Amino acid sequence: MGNLFYYYDRYNPGELPRVVVEPPGPKSREVLNKDHELLMQSFVRWYPLVVKSAYGVVLEDFDGNSFIDLNSGIAVMNVGHSHPRVVKAVEEQVRKLIHYSLTDFYYEEVVEYSSELSEVLPIRGRKKFFFGNSGAEAVEAAMKICKGSAEGRRPYIIAFIGAFHGRTHGAMSLTASKPAQRRGFQPLLPGIIHVPYPYPYRCPFHVDAEECGEAVIGFMEEWIFRRMVDPAEVAAVFIEPIQGEGGYVTPPDDFLLRLRKLTSENGIKLVADEVQSGFGRSGKWFAVEHWGVEPDLVTMAKAVASGIPLGVVGGREDIMRLPPGSHASTFGGNPVALKAGTEVIRIIREEKLLSNVEKVGRYVMERAREWMDRYEMVGDVRGKGLMIGIELVRDRRTKEYARRELEAFLTKCFKRGIAVIGAGFSAIRISPPLVISQELMERSMDVMEEVLKEVVREHSSA
């Protein structure tokens, strides 16, 4: 058993965050300028944070500043940066075996990891796994598995508006959270149908939050399946149980169960994309567990191997049956990543991370709900565990997105040593490493509240 707050050996929590030079300082700027000169700038960077090193929940830049990390870069470092057990496992594995392609050969690390993962995957009975290197690759594989298992009889896939499933062509065809993600890349994959996601605060059907899930299911039955596509032609429904990039949106409590019923009745596979919501982030191993739903397939990446690239599809054995030669990846299931992954599972279990997530997550929700009472700009607070969205609006009644206000908020937080980003159009995305202590979370919330007050003041007088 390790120490949950292992980073306290190196940092005194009372001294965090620590800003000695306004970021980005001169040394960070050097890296930043070279980055702009050398890299295709197809990313959206929220503010100029240049990370030199990271440990636990602390990021250090090149100018001596220490930030509290509320991003986990992004939702990846769930067990904390450079967790000593992960570092040890990786070091040992690098000396033993770095690579020997699973496409053609066998090794033990993948079997060890698969049996460890089977114990936590929220699917009963026999299951199997496929390994790639990223979330998008896991989604690509899952699409092929669902179509392949239907042997060509089900050419359609349903996804949700607001979803983010990745940026490769197939995954991008499912993604629909911002037009920039798709602009200029048409034609995308044919046969993808998008339906509204039950976003309780902004229900596309203009019904009350708790009725939004039922309205979405009704729309699928009445308008999609009755008029557009026979459900017998649909291979799968892909869903993020909690939408990530789309705004950290939690669906109404009855929604996933209703969706499971609808898909089961029509022989449609339900794929839970847990790339962001998985691995303890929501306070359970997987977010679907909050609603007692059993998907057919689960896609995973991000936090699975604590920053070493690994994408995974886990699913029912009778579905995971693509024929030889039909799918593989040279690097997929790299032994170093798998060793890190095995350690991640053991750390979450042995160090009881889920109870820390529950405790600290509850504190964040309570505190953010107080903000709602105090600041008109805080329109909605939602989430599970340490996957929390705090949506800022210009006007409580019109719910106009407070985009500029969000940008100002994030930049000011950055300048004060809190690294936090947005999700959707105007939500603050709270997604710290799951090993964050209550004390550091309180300090972060204190700084964020000060910043929020400032933003409210500046923008109401603007």
Residues lying near ligand PLP in the complex (CB under 6 A): 134-136, 139, 164-166, 240, 244-245, 273, 275-276, 301
Backbone angles phi, psi at 248, to 5 degrees: 50, 60
Rounded CA-CA distance 377/372 in Å is 8
The residues, any chain, with a CB within 8 Å of residue 461's CB and separated by 6 or more, are: none
Of all residues in the shown chain, the one whose CB is closest to ligand PLP is: 135
At its nearest, how many Å lie between ligand PLP and the CB of residue 118?
21
Q: How far, in Å, CA of 180 to CA of 446, rounded?
A: 34
Q: Please state, as a whole number, how many other Cβ atoms lie within 10 Å of the Cβ of residue 59.
A: 24
Toward ligand PLP, which CB reaches closer, 273 or 351? Answer: 273
Q: Least Å distance between CB 164 and ligand PLP?
A: 5
Give me the least distance between CB of 309 and ligand PLP, in Å please: 8
Choice between 80 and 246, CB closer to ligand PLP: 246
Task: Specify whether the CB–CB gap between 243 and 252 falls below 8 A.
Answer: no
Nearer to ligand PLP, 25 or 196 (CB): 196
Min CB(27)–ligand PLP separation in Å:
29
Which of these, 145, 141, 199, lies nearest to 329 by C-alpha position? 141
- CB 395, min distance to ligand PLP, A: 29
User: What is the smallest separation between the CB atom of 255 and ligand PLP, expressed in angstroms?
Assistant: 17
- Residues 6 or more apart whose CB falls under 8 angstroms from that of 422 comprise 46, 406, 407, 410, 428, 429
3-state secondary structure 171-221: HHHHCCCCHHHCCCCCCCCCCEEEECCCCHHHCCCCCCHHHHHHHHHHHHH
Nearest to 34 by CA among 48, 47, 46: 48
**Close Cβ partners of 91 (under 8 Å, ≥ 6 residues apart):** none
Which of residues 24 and 244 has its CB atom nearest to ligand PLP in the complex?
Answer: 244
User: Which pair of structure tokens corresponds to residue 103?
Assistant: 């496409």
Whichever of 273 and 405 has its CB closer to ligand PLP, that residue is 273
In terms of CB distance, is 49 or 275 closer to ligand PLP? 275
**Cβ nearer to ligand PLP, comparing 240 with 405:** 240
The Cα 150–Cα 231 span in angstroms is 13
Find the shortest distance in angstroms from Cβ 163 to ligand PLP.
8
Residue 85 or 165 with smaller CB distance to ligand PLP: 165
Q: Which residue's CB is nearer to ligand PLP, number 243 or number 356?
A: 243
The least distance separating ligand PLP from the CB of residue 338, rounded to whole angstroms, comes to 17
CB of 244 or CB of 335, closer to ligand PLP: 244
Nearest distance, CB of residue 175 and ligand PLP, angstroms:
8
Interior angle at CA 35, CA 31 and CA 39, nearest 5: 165
17 vs 170 by CB, closer to ligand PLP: 170
Phi and psi torsions of 272, nearest 5°: -90, 115
Helix (H, G, I), strand (E, B) or coil at 1: coil
Q: What is the 3-state secondary structure (H, E, C) of 277-292?
A: CCCCCCCCCCHHHHHC
Round to whole Å and give the CA distance between 7 and 436: 10
Q: Least distance in Å: CB of 24 to ligand PLP?
A: 24
The token duo for 72 is: 């986990």
Half-sphere exposure of 134 (CA within 13 A, CB side): 9
Question: Residue 18 carries which DSSP code?
Answer: B
Q: Which of 402, 398, 407, 360 is nearest to 378 (CA)?
A: 402
Residue 165 CB, shortest distance to ligand PLP, in Å, is 5
